[in-house]
Chains A and B, each alone.
Chain A
């Protein structure tokens, strides 16, 4: 058994009096896997991924990469370890070509800094094909603004893939996308896993999470309340479990309200 690629132990984080995460244990296996991270608004999903990508520093807890404890975890260290966070539209320069977007900031250059455009176009072509980008109309020299929402996400995924990200974090990639578009992204993610990248896939949508994930992790009010392998559950079961969690949640809220009154 390989070392776990990423392991978080007893991570807590609070903002003022609000506790966003409480003693969370989370891991990503050594071999590529897709983890669906599910939870309501305010469950702590974004806090968790921001800690993984180094934007937030946890109040306490430990972070391990390949079994090695990391001190002073930061954005730079996170990126150096191969963690890439993909944001929906924010990550792309819309009027630039697909190839330029993939290589943004890390262009393939020869001496004197001239860009090897042909190589970039060819590589972009290859990448887009690898992740199953089969649009008839667009080539690696089309502007990103002409692509559909799902395809745009695909460009960002291709970027993570080219730079051999060990772990891609997709923050709500399917929000505001049609069903076919969402399917496209699932294909991209599966192809990326074949290429050797793990993926954390954040969503509200249980069906989406079940569709693509090898493992689902449910966060609720700062705690991991459920973790299940896809093989060991069905989507109906998952929905039932989630409903239970929501009901408990409701009861607790009732309790709080009663206590207040």
Chain B
């Protein structure tokens, strides 16, 4: 009998513990990595403001950042899914350029821009599907397959377009432009779309079967298969999701910079910046765990650091040095969290 009582006691304590873990504490606990990056971000912003109040208390700089930042956010969020599933996609920026090319070429030919956007997204999704098939069906390692795809697409776009820019200025002030790149007051609409993308990704990752499955697949492939998760489909879907995001980001970038121009070289910097946002956000490459909110904060941090360093008076040459420093510091702090 005393044994039973003891058991009951333990249960009560259990429930108490459970209750105490609800709410804010739980949120803090689950998002520790993302929040630590967020704190770094706030401190940096304060430093920037102190160093250069004229610029950093002026809304113009935020307007500029909020126009380009959404592209990175839209790209970074689905990448979390691929990385959590223990794969990687290095072709996403090339895929974005490819989708933008499809969009620019068709819209220039006089097609309805909404239809062209749909085509761009489908094109992106198709590339994602091919990536997924290469990994899942043929069994290539994703890092190799997507490097191949990256070169293939870059070459295809360069050869196909003859590196001729396609200006998209004629779209300005059309309903299409206002929907995706207009302004509400002074606030760039792009940022609202980035938040929409964030909400969708968070719903999928934290509350949907897809997020649950992808975490299990990345965590323990064998047992996921044994438990009846269709591992191939889940992984392929993650690549397709990245592809869809590439299509959308491509259109956003076309509308933001008002042209299609396949600059060789610069896409790689964007690719690494986006990947770094995912990593400093707190998603490791070991699979099974990741955070969408972290990737969002990571993207913001890196974008603000880039701007902040330039505006703080250091020449552009130093940007990457400080970016690298921030990335390394963030990653080190994650390691510290983990070992606790």
Contact = CB atoms under 8 A, between A and B. Distances in A.
Contacts of A106: 227-228
A104 B227 contact: yes
Interface residues of A, number: 30
A105 interface: yes
B10 A136 contact: yes
Nearest to B225: A105
B18 A139 contact: yes
A136 B14 contact: yes
Given A93-B215, A136-B10, A107 B209 contact: yes
B212 A139 contact: no
Contacts of A135: 10, 14
B244 interface: no
Given A104-B227, A115-B207, A136-B10, A94 B212 contact: no
B210 A104 contact: no
Contacts, number: 85
Given A104-B216, A113-B210, A115-B208, A95 B18 contact: no
A68 interface: no
A114 B209 contact: yes
Interface residues of B, number: 29
Interface in A89-124: 90-96, 100, 103-107, 109, 112-115, 117
B170 to A, nearest CB: 39
Interface in B198-235: 203, 207-210, 212-213, 215-216, 219-220, 222-224, 226-229
B302 to A, nearest CB: 26
B11 interface: yes
B85 to A, nearest CB: 12
Q: Which of B14, B207, B288 has the most CB of A within 10 A?
A: B14
Contacts of A100: 212, 215-216
Given A92-B220, A104-B223, A140-B18, 14 more contacts: A90-B226, A91-B223, A100-B216, A104-B216, A106-B227, A109-B209, A112-B208, A114-B207, A115-B207, A129-B11, A132-B7, A134-B10, A136-B14, A141-B26
Interface of A: 87, 90-96, 100, 103-107, 109, 112-115, 117, 125, 129, 132, 134-137, 139-141
Interface of B: 7, 10-11, 13-14, 17-18, 21, 26, 203, 207-210, 212-213, 215-216, 219-220, 222-224, 226-229, 288-289
20 contacts: A87-B223, A90-B220, A93-B219, A93-B224, A94-B220, A94-B288, A95-B289, A96-B288, A104-B224, A104-B229, A105-B224, A106-B227, A107-B213, A113-B209, A125-B18, A135-B10, A136-B13, A136-B17, A137-B17, A139-B21
